[in-house]
C-alpha cells in the first residue's frame, strides 16, 4: 500500500508518465498527484472534476493536458501503473469512451505497445 507521496515516488511517476507519453506519441501532461494540487490548480482547468476528483484513481482534463493521479487512493504499484496508462490512453484517444476497445488499448499500452500520433480528422470534405 502506498502511503506517502515522497519525492522518490513523485519522480517514479514522472518517469513512467514520460516513458508512456513517448510511446503513445502525446505531449507529456502536467501531473497533479494529490487532491490538494487539484484544488490549487486554476479552476477553469479542473472544471467538472474538481471537488469530486478524490473519488477516482485518476482524472484526465483533456482540454488542458492535465492529469490527476490520486496516489493516496491507489492501493498498489500495479494499480498505479494501470491508472497512469489509463489516463494517458484518454489523452491519446480523446474521442474514445470507456469500453471494450478502450480497455484493449490500455492492456496493449501496459504491454509496451507504441501508438502513432493522434491526427484530428479533417472536417473538409474533398470531392
Ligand atoms: Zn477513464
How many whole angstroms from 59 Cα to the centroid of ligand 1? Answer: 7
How many whole angstroms from 50 Cα to the centroid of ligand 1? Answer: 15
pLDDT, one tens digit per residue, over 8-63 is: 999 999 999 999 999 999 999 999 999 999 999 999 999 999 999 999 999 999 99
How many whole angstroms from 127 Cα to the centroid of ligand 1? Answer: 37
Predicted TM-score (pTM) of this structure: 0.90
pLDDT, mean of residues 64-78: 95
Q: Which residue has better confidence, 91 or 126?
A: 91
Burial class (CB in 10 A: 0-12, 13-18, 19+), 59: buried
pLDDT, mean of residues 76-80: 96
How many whole angstroms from 3 Cα to the centroid of ligand 1? Answer: 23
Q: Please, what's the largest Cα pairwise distance for the chain?
A: 59
Amino acid at each position: 500500500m502506498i502511503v506517502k507521496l515522497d519525492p522518490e515516488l513523485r519522480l517514479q511517476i514522472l518517469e513512467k508518465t514520460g516513458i508512456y507519453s513517448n510511446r503513445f506519441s502525446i505531449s507529456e501532461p502536467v501531473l497533479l498527484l494529490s487532491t490538494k494540487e487539484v484544488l490549487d490548480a486554476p479552476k477553469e482547468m479542473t472544471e467538472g472534476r474538481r471537488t469530486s476528483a478524490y473519488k477516482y484513481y485518476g482524472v484526465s482534463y483533456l482540454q488542458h493536458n492535465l492529469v490527476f493521479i490520486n496516489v493516496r487512493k491507489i492501493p498498489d504499484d500495479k494499480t498505479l501503473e494501470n491508472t497512469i496508462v489509463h489516463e494517458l490512453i484518454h489523452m491519446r484517444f480523446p474521442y474514445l469512451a470507456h469500453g471494450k476497445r478502450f480497455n484493449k488499448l490500455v492492456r496493449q499500452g501496459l504491454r509496451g505497445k507504441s501508438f502513432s500520433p493522434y491526427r484530428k480528422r479533417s472536417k473538409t470534405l474533398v470531392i
